[in-house]
Amino acid sequence: MSGSALYETFARAPLAFDHGEGTWLVTDKGERYLDFAGGIAVNSLGHSHPHLVAALTEQAAKLWHVSNLYEIPEQRRLGERLVDATFADKVFFTNSGAEALECAIKTARRYQFVKGHPERFRIITFEGAFHGRTLATIAAGGQYKYLEGFGPKVEGFDQVAFDDIDAAEKAITPETAAILIEPVQGEGGIRPVPTQSLKRLRQLCDQHGLLLIFDEVQCGIGRTGKLFAHEWAGVTPDLMAIAKGIGGGFPMGACLATDEAATGMTAGVHGTTFGGNPLAMAVGNAVLDVVLADGFLEDVQRKALLLKQGLAGVADEFPDVIEGIRGTGLMLGLKCVMPNTKVNMALRDQHLLAVPAGDNVIRLLPPLTVTDAEIGEALERIRAGAKGLTDAIAAEAAK
Ligand SMILES: Cc1ncc(COP(=O)(O)O)c(C=O)c1O
């Protein structure tokens, strides 16, 4: 027996946090860490945001849960607000990103079914994608490391190379139902999909009667400086999965759909026990109060520029450690020269938390509420971490 009662599925850092304040996390020993990991883009408004704490505690004193067999006014309100702010006409609330993706996948298949095309069930996805850890979403993500050993891959996902729109077009068959893409790949290494490519995907979907599904679980809710990343491209999907930032730390997600795309989702065909419960909805509404407030997203854009420019300077200074900066908004990646795990460790030694991603990248996903001073502090810590690594290379070479 191993030392822990928990599944050994996570490679955990030897750190335990006791509480959080804004962009800071404090360990059980009182050590302060600057949190640029943000629970992997979950803590959109940092830790213990007073408006979220108030919304959650007020709701907790009133009503935690009723099932979706009854009206849930806060759910209706959050649904209407998401509809007002986006391309969508309909919303289904879930507990997680993967469950939001499951809903999007089922909605797309069901749409084709009710339109007289039960044979159209396949979905085209892109290499480097990450859509979750359920059986269908690991098939959609297509990464062998997540599929191995879990039996036959769920049927119906066809993968093409990242940003290869010609390949996506060639992959369309009479059985294709939809195309699924993250407008900015997160786990794949902070890779934004060019505007032109999103536009072409929209055209392909329209031309072939397919639905376009965006996964904005990581890049949505203000992360890129717009409420949703696809707004930068001026392209709207038929379906969109969101999660992470909308709950600010409370587990929740949603699938957004146009009326047309949701045609097949009639009474009884889909469901959830916890999705959209009053506690989650109170927090989701509170997150939107802040993110949709006048000037908030413009300030995210301004701060993002500050961080990106600062990072570019650090990359120039330490080319043996950081090859370049990528990403958009407060979803930035350091493309590393040495293994990203090593760089991540050096940052952690500086009490700065970040997240490794694919393609040897370190993700920086600070709360949208990060201050200019905290950005300055983070840059100092990244510089110190990179300097330590550069000095170590020099010392090794001198041996
Ligand atoms: C783009 C994207 N889609 C889906 C998911 C899955 O979300 P969850 O872990 O909440 O199921 C993630 C999680 O990292 C994600 O980044």
Could you list the residues known to form a binding site, using ranges. 97-98, 130, 133, 215-218, 272-273
- Per-residue pLDDT of 35-92, as tens digits, reads 999 999 999 999 999 999 999 999 999 999 999 999 999 999 999 999 999 999 999 9
Percentage of residues of the chain with pLDDT beyond 90: 98
Measured from the CA of 216, which atom of ligand 1 is nearest? 1
Average pLDDT, the chain: 97
Mean pLDDT (whole number) for 175-203: 98
How far is the C-alpha of 346 from the C-alpha of 336, rounded, in Å?
12
Residue-level pLDDT at 64: 98
Assess whether pLDDT exceeds 60 at residue 280. yes
How far is the C-alpha of 363 from the C-alpha of 39, rounded, in Å?
11
Cβ(335)–Cβ(360) under 8 Å?
Answer: yes
Residue-level pLDDT at 363: 98
Measured from the CA of 134, which atom of ligand 1 is nearest? 11
CATH C-level class of 17-48+305-398: alpha beta
CATH 3.40.640.10 domain range(s) in the chain: 63-292
How far does residue 31's CA lie from ligand 1's centre (Å)? Answer: 29
Pocket around ligand 1 at a 6 A CB cut-off: 40, 96-98, 101, 130-132, 182, 186-187, 215, 217-218, 243
- At position 188, the amino acid (one-letter code) is G
- Per-residue pLDDT of 295-342, as tens digits, reads 999 999 999 999 999 999 999 999 999 999 999 999 999 999 999 999
CATH C-level class of 63-292: alpha beta
Assess whether pLDDT exceeds 70 at residue 393. yes
Measured from the CA of 129, which atom of ligand 1 is nearest? 1
Mean pLDDT (whole number) for 217-235: 98
| Beta strand pairing call for 191-192 and 211-215 | unpaired
Assess whether pLDDT exceeds 70 at residue 1. no
Please tell me the residue having the least CA distance from ligand 1 atom 16.
218
How far does residue 143's CA lie from ligand 1's centre (Å)? Answer: 14
Closest CA to 350 of 320, 313, 392, 386: 386
Percentage of residues of the chain with pLDDT beyond 70: 99
Could you list the residues known to form a binding site for N(2)-acetyl-L-ornithine, using ranges. 133, 272
Q: State the helix-helix crossing angle for 372-398 and 340-349, rounded to 10 degrees.
A: 120
CATH 3.90.1150.10 domain range(s) in the chain: 17-48+305-398
How would residue 10 be classed by pLDDT, with cut points 50, 70 and 90?
A: very high
Please tell me the residue having the least CA distance from ligand 1 atom 8.
97
Residue-level pLDDT at 389: 97
| Beta strand pairing call for 361-364 and 355-357 | antiparallel
Mean pLDDT (whole number) for 184-205: 98
How far does residue 217's CA lie from ligand 1's centre (Å)? Answer: 6
Residue-level pLDDT at 2: 60
Please tell me the residue having the least CA distance from ligand 1 atom 3.
131
- Per-residue pLDDT of 128-163, as tens digits, reads 999 999 999 999 999 999 999 999 999 999 999 999
Assess whether pLDDT exceeds 70 at residue 388. yes
Residue-level pLDDT at 399: 86
For a substitution probing ligand 1, which of 9, 133, 218, 365 has the most ligand atoms within 8 Å of its CB?
A: 218
